[in-house]
Structure 1
Amino acid sequence: MGRRILIVSASMGAGHDAVAAELAERLRSGGHLTVCVDLLDLLPPGAGRGLRAVYRTTLRRCPWAYGAVYSAFFRDRGDPGDRNNWAPGTGPLAAVLEPRLRSVVERWRPDALVSTFHQAAQVTGRLRSRDGVCPPSTVVVTDFAVHRQWLHPGNDLHLCLTEAAAARVRATTGRPAEVCGPIVPPAFASVGHENPRGQSSRWTREFARRGPGRPPVLISAGAWGVGHGLTETALLLAGAGHIPVLLCGRDERLRDRAAMLPGVLALGWVEDLPDLMAASSALVDNAAGQTAQQALAAGVPVVGYRPIAGHGAEGVSEMAAAGLTEHAADEMALVRSLDRLVRPGPDRDRQVAAGRAVFTVDAAGLVA
Structure 2
Amino acid sequence: MVRYPDSHQPKVLILYASYGEGHLQAAKAIRDALEEQGNNRTVMVDLMAESHPWLNEMTRRVYLKSYTHIPHLYGWVYDVTRPMKHNSLFGGFLHSFGRDKIRKLLQKEKPDAVIHTFPFFALPDLHRRRPKKTVLPQASIPTYTVITDFDLHRRWVHPGIGRYFVATEDMKQELGSLGIHPGRVSVSGIPLARGFRSSLTPSFELYEKYGLSPEQPVILLMPGAQGVMPDCDELCRHLLEQHPNAQIALICGRNNVLKSSMADQFKHHAAADRLHLYGYVNQVHELMALSTCLVSKPGGVTLAEAICAGLPLFLYKPVPGQEKNNARYLQSKGAASIANDPEEMAAAIIKLVNDPEQLKLSEAAVQRLQTEGAAADNIAHHILLECGWNAKFGQRYS
Q: Give the residue type in structure 1 aligned to 2:240.
A: A
Mapped pair 1:113 → 2:121: no
Bigger shift: residues 86-95 or 49-58: 86-95
Distance 1:232 1:102, change over 3 A: farther
SS of equivalent residue, structure 1 residue 206: coil
Report deviation, 1:297.
1.5
One of 40, 43, 57 as aligned partner of 1:49: 57
Quote the residue 1:224 is aligned against: 226
What is residue 355 of structure 1 aligned with on the other side?
Answer: 366
Cα pair distance change 1:296/1:343, threshold 3 Å: farther
Question: C-alpha displacement at 1:154, in angstroms?
Answer: 1.3
Q: Which residue is 1:80 aligned to?
A: none
Aligned pairs for 1:1-368 within 5 A = 2-32=9-39, 33-73=41-81, 75-76=82-83, 87=88, 90-118=91-119, 120=120, 122-131=121-130, 133-175=139-181, 176-188=184-196, 190-192=198-200, 195-197=201-203, 199-202=204-207, 206-208=211-213, 214-241=216-243, 242-262=246-266, 263=272, 264-328=275-339, 330-331=341-342, 334-342=345-353, 345-357=356-368, 358-361=370-373, 362-368=378-384
Other structure's SS at 2:97 match: helix
Alpha carbons 1:189, 1:298 under 8 Å: kept: no
* Length-normalised TM-score, structure 2: 0.80
Q: Secondary structure at the match of 2:303?
A: helix
User: Structure 1: which 5+ runs fail to align?
Assistant: 78-83
SS of aligned partner of 1:46: helix
- Tell me, yes or no, if the aligned pair for 1:300 and 1:352 is still in contact at 8 Å: yes
Q: Contact 2:97–2:122 (CA<8 Å) still a contact in 1?
A: no
Instruction: Decide whether the 8 Å contact of 1:14 with 1:223 is kept in 2.
Output: yes
Gaps of 5+ in 2: 131-135, 267-271, 385-398
CA offset at residue 191 of structure 1?
4.7
- CA-to-partner distance for each residue in 1:46-99, whole Å, 9 max, x for gaps? 3222221221122222222212221222x238xxxxxx7983872534213222
Distance in 2, matches of 1:170 and 1:87, equals 20
Query: In the alignment, is the contact (CA less than 8 A) between 1:237 and 1:335 conserved in 2?
Result: yes
1:155-178 Cα deviation digits (max 9, x unpaired): 111110001011111221434222
* Rounded Cα–Cα distance in structure 2 between residues aligned with 1:98 and 1:8: 12
Distance of aligned partners of 1:245 and 1:219 in 2 relative to their CA distance in 1, 3 Å threshold: same
Question: CA-atom RMSD, angstroms?
Answer: 2.7
Q: Report the alpha carbon displacement of residue 16 of structure 1 after superposing the two structures with TM.
A: 0.9
Question: 2:315, 2:337 within 8 Å by CA — same for their partners in 1?
Answer: yes
Q: Following TM superposition, by how much is the alpha carbon of 1:330 offset from its aligned partner in structure 2, in angstroms?
A: 4.7
Counterpart of 1:71 in structure 2: which amino acid?
D
TM-aligned CA distance change 1:180 to 1:217, over 3 Å: same
| Higher radius of gyration, 1 or 2 | 2
TM-score (norm 1): 0.85
TM-superposed CA distance for 1:21, in Å, is 0.6
- The C-alpha deviation readout for 1:4-23, integer Å capped at 9, x for no partner, is 11111111221111111111
The offset of 1:272, in angstroms, is 2.4
How many residues of Structure 1 are paired with residues of Structure 2 in the alignment? 353
CA contact (8 A) 1:167 1:177 kept: no
Give the corresponding residue for 2:269: none
Residues 205 and 11 of structure 1, relative CA distance in 2, 3 Å threshold: closer
Kindly, what percent of the aligned residue pairs are identical?
Answer: 26
Q: 1:246 to 1:76 in 2, by over 3 A?
A: farther
Report 1 or 2 for greater relative contact order, CA contacts < 8 Å, sequence distance ≥ 6: 2
Measured after TM superposition, the shift of residue 276 of structure 1 is 1.4
Which amino acid counterpart does residue 211 of structure 2 have in structure 1?
E
Residues 329, 343 of structure 1: CA spacing in aligned structure 2 closer, same or farther, 3 A cutoff?
Answer: same
Contact 1:188 / 1:294 at 8 angstroms: preserved in 2?
Answer: yes
Q: 2 CA distance for matches of 1:152 and 1:89?
A: 14
Greater mean alpha carbon deviation, residues 234-243 or residues 55-64: 234-243
